[in-house]
Chain A
């Protein structure tokens, strides 16, 4: 019975009961809900599908295959660790929002049709914004508003695309829009208008270049615990959807390449370490998008595996920065440093997360990222392969070194705080354990992947090459620091595409408003002047001396009467 309901529904509906538990218990309630949901999901039979007839339309509300399974599972794991991480939070509405958000993301990746997907898609948007607003500041409120507008726009595009697609094909089934099998590739030109809109919707949520900036804008403004939730679901739901709907779309390779590159440059100069992590997240999504674009079984396996590992180590990194935020009150690099003395365990966990994302052998990033890079190699895509190597060195820079170094080492800020609370440490320990466990014993992960694989990440050549890349990148860091060439952290705002809608558009609108006001006032002045002139003329004419007001002679009256009669006579004969 429970298996006929969309997975995650337990969390969505259960969340509505959390307020009745009171402030203290609602956190535990959230943990129980996510665990129960995992048990229900775990016992769901393979290849499970449920169809519901609504308004004469068959909706495939549950479809669990290998793609849904791996994403559903990791979403559950992320929800559970994030719930443990948030156990100390007494703000019930954050727990409610977190559960609805996670639950709807899980339901979305198990949706078999576009309408169910749309409903869950919008639910993730509307629920998650409360995790940003919960911060309570004016900045967070505005940032959350921008986030909501962009996310809802993505949903509207998805719905429009789905309707057009339905009109064209008569089908709402969510499957590859190009009809491609793994290993085949298609171009964007082959897409109809409906799927194109859907691609843009996925692109917004997946933070494609130029559509990305909601991510770096909003995530650093979430609460310490809320951002851990945020980092796991929205973007990976987009990755899942892209893999499901657009695997093998060639343009995605280049979109993905751009995504891996530009964030690493922005991350170098960003001062807010949670924003550095948001750029880093964007860069990691790039790897996955490249994998989807390549579209071979190996590449798609790599994408799924990378999403799985990424959710865990990215949560871990956001958790470590959340712990810093919780204790110190800021994640600005200029205010931090030397925290390894007072937060040693958080330091170790952060470094494990940093090592995992950088792809050190024996940690989870290595066994997943290498699949995507190898897939590019197998397809003989040299430039893609080179770009992914550059991006790997870039990951080492911003997440492997910059995050741990500036938060926990570097200049001692003199701040001596308490170690993170026990529940945060427990959540980080679980995530760290997963990072190491997957890195060492990767077979269970590989067995879960969408396609069967015999990929072997630990070959001598591969391990040595990876070590060379990462160790020499670290050496470059030491060299730049010693030579004083590494850019100092500066309190600053770095412009990104959000400048367009936060500065350019408002200014443009202000200028247009000014122009309209100017034209309007000129027009008014001119009209008033004309009316005034007319009135002047009228009053002058009607005055005692004016030509209308003055007394006229009898002869002129007789003359005009004669003229009038004459005109009348002529008109009569015509």
Chain B
């Protein structure tokens, strides 16, 4: 799961480079494949993302045969929500969750934004290492 942690730069010239250092590109390729896989998975499971507001995943079985009893589903879901303040399910609470690749784009953008903000923050708050000792 944590292939992304292994992206060592591989510019080790000391001769005892580990497998990871010699195969950084393999690791990166693995990550890219995993990313694409997560998008493909969304396509395959698209019907689940379209469910709205507390539709139960454990009632999926009855869902599959095409019989679509909205009212009973809704009642059931409401019952669940009021019962334990939660549900068994992961419902799409907001419309934006149903957009294809939303979390992927969001994860990428948020990461880049946080890093850039940090870089900018350096201009304001970075001092010498012995700042408080001097």
- Which chain A residues have a beta carbon within 8 Å of chain B's beta carbons? 139, 182-183, 264-269, 296-298, 301, 338, 340-341, 351, 354-355, 360-363, 370-371, 374-375, 377-378, 380, 382, 385, 389-390, 393-394, 396-397, 400-401, 404-405, 409-412, 414, 451-457, 459-462, 464-481, 485-487, 490-496, 502-503
- Select from chain B the residue with minimum beta-carbon distance to A466: B103
Instruction: Given A494-B121, A503-B132, output 11 extra A-B contacts at Cβ < 8 Å.
Output: A301-B85, A371-B86, A411-B11, A464-B38, A464-B42, A468-B102, A471-B104, A472-B108, A476-B108, A481-B9, A493-B130
**Are B1 and A390 in contact, CB atoms less than 8 angstroms apart?**
no
B110 on interface, CB distance cutoff 8 Å: yes
**Are A456 and B114 in contact, CB atoms less than 8 angstroms apart?**
no
- Select from chain B the residue with minimum beta-carbon distance to A348: B2
Report Cα–Cα, A371/B83, bound state, in Å: 16
**Are B4 and A298 in contact, CB atoms less than 8 angstroms apart?**
no
Contacts of B92 in A (CB 8 A): 461
- Select from chain B the residue with minimum beta-carbon distance to A495: B125
Report Cα–Cα, A405/B4, bound state, in Å: 9
**Are A472 and B18 in contact, CB atoms less than 8 angstroms apart?**
no
Contacts of B107 in A (CB 8 A): 393, 396, 468-473, 476
Secondary structure at chain A's binding surface: helix, strand, loop or mixed? helix
**Are B84 and A475 in contact, CB atoms less than 8 angstroms apart?**
no
Nearest-Cβ distance from residue A214 to partner chain B, whole angstroms? 15
Nearest-Cβ distance from residue A27 to partner chain B, whole angstroms? 32
Contacts of A453 in B (CB 8 A): 84-86
**Are A471 and B110 in contact, CB atoms less than 8 angstroms apart?**
no
Name the interface residues of B89-134: CB closer than 8 Å to any CB of A. Answer: 89-94, 97, 101-119, 121-122, 124-133
Report Cα–Cα, A222/B118, bound state, in Å: 26
Contacts of B75 in A (CB 8 A): none
**Are A469 and B106 in contact, CB atoms less than 8 angstroms apart?**
yes
Contacts of A409 in B (CB 8 A): 5-9, 20
- Select from chain A the residue with minimum beta-carbon distance to B35: A471
Report Cα–Cα, A503/B134, bound state, in Å: 11
Contacts of A474 in B (CB 8 A): 3-4, 31
Contacts of A479 in B (CB 8 A): 112
**Are B119 and A268 in contact, CB atoms less than 8 angstroms apart?**
yes
**Are B14 and A378 in contact, CB atoms less than 8 angstroms apart?**
no
Contacts of A451 in B (CB 8 A): 84-85
Name the interface residues of B9-61: CB closer than 8 Å to any CB of A. Answer: 9, 11-12, 14, 16-18, 20-21, 28, 31-32, 34-35, 38-39, 41-42, 45, 48-49, 51, 57-58
Report Cα–Cα, A182/B87, bound state, in Å: 16
Given A404-B5, A459-B48, A470-B107, decide whether A412 and B21 contact each other with a Cβ distance below 8 A: yes
